[in-house]
Chains A and B, each alone.
Chain A
Amino acid sequence: MAANVKVLKRRELTWWENTFLPSIYAGLVITSRHFFGNLAIHISHVFGLRKKERGSTTYQYPEEKRPLAHRYRTRHRLMKRDSGETRCVACMLCETICPAHCIAIVAKEHPDPDIEKMPASFDIDLGKCVYCGFCVEVCPEDAIRMDTGRLDIAAYSRGGMILNFDHLMNPELPVLDPAKPVAR
């Protein structure tokens, strides 16, 4: 046994504490304090008072979306050149750096020899992605960003969580169609 073991004895609850009545009462006090406090602020706002204080609110998601911080990392998108095609040159650095191994790229020849290389397919498995943002940081072409602001990521199957090239190029598209899971 190690020498410095400190044995802590858990305090026995008293009979009165065991009824949980004091805890329930304390909890109700906190909730009520927030409720009436916020109620007072919101009523004051109606009369144009206490404008500097912000009352807490509930966002009516999905109709109403919470504003995101400027650097918040959300679903990925691929950037476009002026010509409308992808900036990605399939260098596979994002695939290499990805700690979750969620990116899979297949490269092909670009018709323009000055660009030379482009992705034939570009899949991101959002079921595996940990949203670390390494792919954005490592990209030498600024071809991938995580600034779509989209958090509505859900599907009925694991296969449905895979974004393909079209989804990444058109982040406004309704993706992850639950009726049509993407075949692996």
Chain B
Amino acid sequence: MPKLTIDGKEVEVPKGTRLIEAARKLGIEVAHYCYHPGLPIAGNCRMCLVEIEKNPKLQISCHIEAADGMVVKTQSALAKQGRQNTLEFLLLNHPVDCPVCDQAGECKLQDYYMEHGLHDPKFDDNKVRKSKKAFPIGPNVMLDTERCILCSRCVRFTDEITKTHEFGIFNRGDHSEVGLVPGKSLDNPYSANVVDICPVGALTDRDFRFKCRVWYLGKTPSVCTGCSRGCNIEIDYDRLRPHKKAGHDRIMRFKPRENSEVNKWWICDAGRYSYKLIDHGRLVAAKQSGIDASLDAALGEVAGLLAKAREQGRSGRIGVLASPDMTNEELFLVRQLFREELSAALAFEMAEPAGHKDDFLITADKHPNRAGAREILGTGLAKGEELLARAARGDLVALLVFHWDIAALAGADRLAAAARGAPLYVFATHENRTTYAARFALPVANFAEQSGTFTNCQGRVQRIAKAVEPLGESRPAWKILCEFSDALRLGWTHESAESVFAELSASVHAFAGMSWQTLGHAGATWKQGQPQEAAAAR
């Protein structure tokens, strides 16, 4: 293990570590454009220059491996001068059209100019104009070659990560420009990641284009719910413009968040653009057979029905179809309320068409928390279709459905038959044919509007956090379940989803020892190789 000194501080790093990573370990950020920890090293931007003692020239810290006894200075006058000159060269032909550039505000050229540049430009010739200004190069990405500094991150991404080889750098000298290989279009399922890794405004997102300046955004760490991978994301929402016209989208975009155990730095395009579902087509008020109704009346009716069924000893004939879209906390409350207290007929799975999957991030299971649901509710449960059949036979006193769009999966006929046999109560985030058919449809908050945890396909428990307020009358499902418990006088005292999680970790083995604090924003994998709590119960 080489031991070296960076800016007067000693650090020991594994052999083969690059200087830039060793410095990062000490909390020293060396300016860089082309270096990306997820991509092979190119060493072409020359921005990460540092001074190494006994070395006559400045060296790029992204390429030099740490060696024993090395003395590195990142802040010496020589290193600073080197970085400033490099930046001046990088900015020679940059159009500086920040007012119209979507990257402005999160642009590394802006950041490093303020940090390392502040030079008077010595270049007074005309800047080289490229053939075209911004133009689309695929369904999701715009390219503006004039802003490009030729760091080649996008080229390496499509060569090494997606292996689709769309990008190349063409021509020579100051005519060099990044572009697509003739005949190709940037339409691979991970294409928009090049926008994130582009350190300048050359590659921008067509969907986000001109929608919002980045300094208006509030950022909340969360988890993508598009599939069971549970990619870590950051929800970027419009924070600063309350005076904007009503009815505009609150969520502006999703950005991937680094998690070396799950998604590295990447996210698929389907997940990235799934933010649109948060504000569109939402169920915002309680509905009675598709017509606006009072939420209190709906909640009261369900609570009264539960209490009456328990009194009459018929609570085993309450059908509850929970969902792998619910958080661990909500599923635990479903278990406590409907299995422990009421011994209701419980299910959480339905037959679904197989989803698209690939060998990188996308999984076939399109629900974020199936692993958690199996762990908490157990795997031996009936399927949703059996509950529907029982309801249609008139065997159930009520059927409570969380999130599932039964009409889309089992067909409108079976839904109608079930709704005839037993009163149907649907807790849903979005309006669909199932909410129209229900006796009462109750609006619940979605994952951007509440805090909680999901368990991904690797058994990794990851936190989501509330980014925006629940829309309309909707409220988190765990709160609704707590209200039912109040009606049944169960004496629950949960004030937040966090206290539910504390109880969950105390009673379900896989979650033992976990708390929201220890999970942090990276999550933690649950205990492997131990007897499953659900299996032990059976």
Using a CB–CB cutoff of 8 Å, the interface residues on chain A facing chain B are: 89-93, 95-96, 101-102, 104, 107-109, 113-117, 125, 140-141, 184
Contacts and interface: CB of A to CB of B under 8 A. Distances in A.
Given A104-B241, A113-B133, A125-B243, 7 more contacts: A91-B99, A91-B100, A96-B240, A101-B242, A113-B134, A113-B135, A114-B133
B244 A116 contact: no
Contacts, number: 47
Quick one: which of A89, A96, A115, A116 has the most chain B CB within 10 A? A116
B210 interface: yes
A89 B211 CA distance: 13
B310 interface: no
A117 B100 contact: yes
A113 B209 CA distance: 14
Interface of B: 97-100, 104, 132-135, 209-211, 213, 215-216, 240-245
A113 B95 CA distance: 13
B215 A96 contact: yes
Quick one: which of B100, B241, B242 has the most chain A CB within 10 A? B100
A104 B244 contact: yes
Nearest to A143: B99
Contacts of A89: 99-100
16 contacts: A90-B210, A95-B241, A96-B215, A96-B216, A101-B241, A101-B242, A104-B243, A104-B244, A107-B210, A107-B211, A108-B210, A109-B210, A116-B97, A116-B100, A117-B99, A125-B243
Chain A interface main SS type = loop
Given A91-B99, A109-B210, A140-B99, A116 B242 contact: no
B245 A104 contact: yes
Quick one: which of A115, A117, A141, A184 has the most chain B CB within 10 A? A117
A136 to B, nearest CB: 15
B210 A117 contact: yes
Contacts of B135: 113
Nearest to B104: A91
Given A104-B241, A104-B244, A116-B97, A92 B133 contact: no
Given A104-B241, A108-B210, A93 B99 contact: yes
Contacts of B240: 96
Contact of A116 (B133, B213, B241): B133
A175 B210 CA distance: 29
A95 B212 CA distance: 11
Nearest to B95: A114
B144 to A, nearest CB: 9
A113 B244 CA distance: 27
A39 B151 CA distance: 79
Contacts of A109: 209-210
**Shortest beta-carbon contacts, A-B, top 10:** A91-B99, A113-B133, A107-B210, A117-B100, A116-B100, A101-B243, A92-B213, A89-B100, A140-B99, A89-B99
